[in-house]
Structure formats: C-alpha cells, structure tokens
A = this chain, B = another copy of it.
C-alpha cells in the first residue's frame, strides 16, 4: 500500500515518530525526556532510535552538559515526510476507503 511504512508502523517507533513530529521542525528532544514519553527501557529506546537513524528519519546528536553525556534527537525532513505519508496511509485504511 502506497505510503505505508513498515519500519515506522512498529508500535514503539510509531510513538517515537509521533512525539518528534509534534515538535517544531528542527527542534530536538533529549533522550531522557523521550524515554519518559515513550515509557520503555533505555536499551529498547536506543535500539529503535538506531533503526530510525539508519533509515535517515532522525538525527541523533551526542554532547556533554558539564561532565554528563547527553543525547538529543530530532526528526529529519525525510523522517517528517515518511511519517506524514504513513499517517495518510493509516487514515485511508482506518476510513475503510482503500
């Protein structure tokens, strides 16, 4: 089905993409905040973020705040487009119009 995206469809990744898509274009969220929204373990969130990063849908930036490592995540323009296409495909399915 056109626009339907199996990578994005997976529950945790769909929720990650939706959370990032709710931010203004280019805005970042830190790993800890994202984890508290998605409510998964560090390892689980990390694994799904890697898949989304490998697909070019998100950008992951690692930095330090003082001595503490911090990870920031943002949607890429490609990620935003893929998410929007997937949501459009989902809406078509849900509406029973396909």
Q: What is the interface of chain A, defined by CB distance below 8 A to chain B?
A: 1, 4, 6, 9, 11, 14-15, 18-19, 21-22, 37, 87, 90, 93-94, 96, 98
Contact = CB atoms under 8 A, between A and B. Distances in A.
Nearest to A92: B18
Nearest to A39: B1
Nearest to A19: B96
Contacts of A11: 1, 4, 6, 9
Contacts of A14: 93
A21 B90 contact: no
20 contacts: A1-B11, A1-B15, A4-B11, A6-B11, A9-B9, A9-B11, A14-B93, A15-B93, A15-B98, A18-B93, A18-B94, A18-B96, A18-B98, A19-B96, A21-B96, A22-B96, A37-B98, A87-B94, A90-B90, A90-B94
